[in-house]
A and B are shown apart, each in its own frame.
Chain A
């Protein structure tokens, strides 16, 4: 098995707010291996983005540990964190908002080079920026433009070039296609996969789009209310979901085929995701689970293996999904 680039162990990230303590992430463990894409899928409020931010220590862990390249970075100082952020880079959801409107494209891409003193001199830096632009499929003369002069897809390519600049061990992709047009989403997904093949990159791909996560990932994890409820290969998750939430999520994804849509039976979840300030006791999904049983209120299920590499946090893993689909 290949080397683990980054690992979270029982990570918790809590935020104090006026309404109480928000448990955004509440006991997440995961490992990301070199050269793979780990997909993290969930709805808003699931804690998937906060999990990604924790890998760069852009949020402070309340409990648990964050390890990157074998080192425990959970308690690293501000100065040390700057070196961490060369090893772990990030691509953001909204490419317009993530680029400083007053800086040229070239200046934005060069920022990691300057900050970490990776190349000497303006000429060498310019060459490296050109090279990075070329890697993401943009013309070199775009370096002198400002973000508002580019299309959404081009801006996201700039965001990716900036993430590549420091040759990181891991790139956290936080909803990198969510604000793009459909035809551009495909371009960006293909670009990310090509870069991974060519450069041996490691990704944490965070998205709410199940089909995109399935397409991009080698392994994936489904989050609900601050926890991972199921993990496995995309095929396992897609074909044999073991957690009722995953099954409901999959059944909610629309398919671009009217015949399939007419025949399929949806598992419509009632209500909304509960408040992360006061998550339900026992299993967190039980308040919306069509198969909830009395035991679910008493025991907080842990991730348990249902097949090799495939784990689910449900007392009735597999069985509940079969019952739901039969109902």
Chain B
């Protein structure tokens, strides 16, 4: 759906030219490597409790220091990357699937369906993000899975809106009318003509939402509503480290930095993609190529 005529290729080459976006993508690559291989790459086990080396500051043996139970902070930050990635991908995956489907049908068929779907989305959208997530977790009980579902629900309206806006403009294009005129079914037109032509804003929205989803998970875990101890999560580590800010700054700073870097990286890449894949930019380029 994304790469049928080199949109991804164009995106990659543009990323290479933009140093900020390149930095962002490198951070993401590191994150993925650590996320996938964290358990093997980590210098020590995440739950190796050692009372002899409690709250040690960063050193060669423990670059990020140790926590109040003597566990290696670096290892815990690395393993927690997997949680963040998982939450990001699953929750944004939920939001993307549900939001795009709703937005697609609402925008394509308009009428009462559009009204019902979009008013529901408006209601969801009106709640503060975290409050809504907390409410959902309160109903379903805390845990990683609930956190992912909650975050997915929270971000669904954005995808529905972005999709609907794209569908509304694409469905007025002559080529959609041409597809109707050859007898193509509605589903075929949506899949074959509408979706590929709104891929650009969706890709951008996905990268931005990944950043916010990771942030939301951190916040939920910080509030004790996400990942449960002893499993590591960046937000949870931040929460646990708050009691030691004065004597052990490294407990909060390193997971905080990990959150900061990840969110920043997704935002940088998202902004760059927005510039490259902007539909107006796209038409200008194509028009230029076709007239020259």
Contact = CB atoms under 8 A, between A and B. Distances in A.
Tell whether any CB of A sits under 8 Å from a CB of B in the complex.
Answer: yes
Interface of A: 56, 58, 81-86, 89-90, 92, 94, 96-103, 111-112, 115-116, 146-150, 159, 162, 165-166
Contacts of B183: 81-86, 112, 115-116, 166
Interface of B: 4-5, 173-175, 177-185, 188, 192-193, 196-197, 286-287, 289-290
Q: Which 7 A-B pairs have the closest CB atoms?
A: A85-B183, A97-B174, A82-B183, A112-B182, A90-B181, A148-B290, A100-B175
Contacts of A97: 173-175
B289 A111 contact: no
Contacts of B179: 100, 111
B182 A115 contact: yes
B184 A99 contact: no
Contact of A85 (B174, B181, B289): B181
A102 B174 contact: no
Given A102-B4, A148-B289, A85 B178 contact: no
A162 B5 contact: no
Contacts of B182: 85-86, 89, 111-112, 115, 162, 165-166
A116 B179 CA distance: 12
A85 B180 contact: yes
A98 B178 contact: yes
Contact of A58 (B4, B177, B188): B177
A92 B178 contact: yes
Nearest to B174: A97
A142 B104 CA distance: 32
B196 to A, nearest CB: 5
B171 to A, nearest CB: 12
A11 to B, nearest CB: 18
Nearest to B197: A102
A102 B181 contact: no
A5 to B, nearest CB: 17
Contacts of B185: 82, 115
Contacts of B184: 82, 111, 115
Contacts of A147: 290
A100 B192 CA distance: 9
A49 B183 CA distance: 19
B286 A89 contact: no
9 contacts: A89-B182, A90-B178, A92-B178, A98-B178, A100-B175, A101-B175, A102-B5, A116-B183, A148-B289
A165 B178 CA distance: 13
Contacts of A101: 175, 197, 286
Nearest to B286: A148
A166 B178 CA distance: 14
- Centre residue among A56, A81, A97, A101 by max chain B CB count within 10 A: A101
B290 A92 contact: no
- Centre residue among B173, B184, B196 by max chain A CB count within 10 A: B184
A239 B177 CA distance: 38
Contacts of A82: 183-185
A146 B192 CA distance: 15
B174 to A, nearest CB: 4
A224 B181 CA distance: 26
- Centre residue among A92, A103, A159 by max chain B CB count within 10 A: A103
Nearest to A90: B181
Nearest to B199: A102
Nearest to B6: A146
- Centre residue among A82, A115, A162, A166 by max chain B CB count within 10 A: A115
A89 B175 CA distance: 14
Contacts of A99: 175, 178
